[in-house]
Amino acid sequence: MSQRFNSYIAGQWLAGSGSDADENPSNLDAPVGEYGVVDAALTVQAVEAAAAALPKWALSSPQQRADVLDFVGSEILARKEELGRLLALEEGKTLPESIGEAARAGQIFKFFAGEALRIPGEKLASTRPGVDVEITREPVGVVGIIAPWNFPLAIPAWKIAPALAYGNTVVFKPAEIVPGCAWALAEILSRAGLPEGVFNLVIGAGRVVGQALVEHPKLDALTFTGSVPTGNALLKQAAARGLKIQLEMGGKNPLVVLADADLDKAVECAVNGAYFSTGQRCTASSRLIVENAIYDEFVARTQARLAKLKVGDALQAGVDIGPVASPAQLATNLAYIQAGRDDGGELLFGGERVECATPGHYLAPTLFAARPGDRIVREEIFGPVAALLRADDYEQALALANDSEFGLCAGICTGSLKYASHFKRHAQAGMVMVNLPTAGVDPHVPFGGRKASSYGPREQGRYAVEFYTTVKTAYTAA
């Protein structure tokens, strides 16, 4: 094992009470390293450190906070190839995608360096003569961050950066299968000029570390990205104690392809959205809704495109799809593929594991022809598995697109301004794509969904201020 990844609490690197292997899903014989596992007691220590650091950091100058974030963003961008390689080793995303994610994380820190200098406020005239009214934003306090494994640099960045920009202190719990990326971010932050305790990293099991974090009375807010069951459980706990909470959870995103679409572009949108990053994106196009008039041609072209995709080691040149990130996720994917068969779906491509030069969690991109009630159409899979649905016309396609408990992202491929405009207005999703893959968003605009996909204020961009600050109204008599 080549490297040890430890937690960072109150300005100190701590090994914790145990250790575990950091697996390389492209090569199970060559682990990335090992990581220290913290317990509930160290998690409590991290929250206490963040609470102790809060009064001074909350009153720090906007320039100080901007300088810290700019330093972090600049170093991430300068080291994007190195950090991207670590991400590819640890999570299994292809190297070009991993380098792109590292660059995005750097851009997010840079963006919020600017936002630290632009914290909004208002001054209004009162309805009473001789009285002024000021509306200001103040930090919400100690922020707990629970991040997933599928974007181990970008998602922590878009949570940590605004938290610090607006004067909050942070306790960050990453997913256990990506400790190296979390450690790398923490190591850069440890040299960025932050006072002791402002940023803390705790690596450990969710049932131990996450629970201790949520239950701590000094935690003021919690932002979570992950599964629907965990998010719903956290929401109940937060409601019971009045904790401010932000949740990003599941997606079952539709891509509608109309008969007037540029078919080559539509196939690329579908394949990119459904299968790149091994389908492990909450914005992935997992439901492909195709108008009858072009259904057969779309299927044939998609099958031909999938046959050209190369599955393999994330670091290998020319690979389009890396391994599934973990054995647990691979088992979930295979179970859903079997469910697709059991429900009577027609397997059009893939459906099996792939053997490569090194032992890893490799799975072929999988395409089913399905029906609206099938499990693979209703439930989030989070892997390279997509379901095709037929639609008689645009109206039925829109109805099928909205027939989901989720509402994160929705896409349409069409040459019609009429249908594109109508879809943007009537798709029940927080984000809509026209002639683009459903996966792939900019770092400076809001991210989030509707229905079971999201809860609370939006993430990213200037809208992040809604979660990471609290509003104060002050009246002054002249």
- Give me the active site residues, please: 248, 282
Beta-strand pair 7-9/12-14: antiparallel
- Side chain identity, residue 461: G
The Cα–Cα gap between 269 and 271 comes to 6
The Cα–Cα gap between 91 and 198 comes to 28
Cβ atoms < 10 Å from Cβ of 103: 19
The Cα–Cα gap between 387 and 394 comes to 18
- Side chain identity, residue 11: G
Beta-strand pair 18-22/33-37: antiparallel
How open is the CA angle 263-268-272, to the nearest 5 degrees?
A: 150
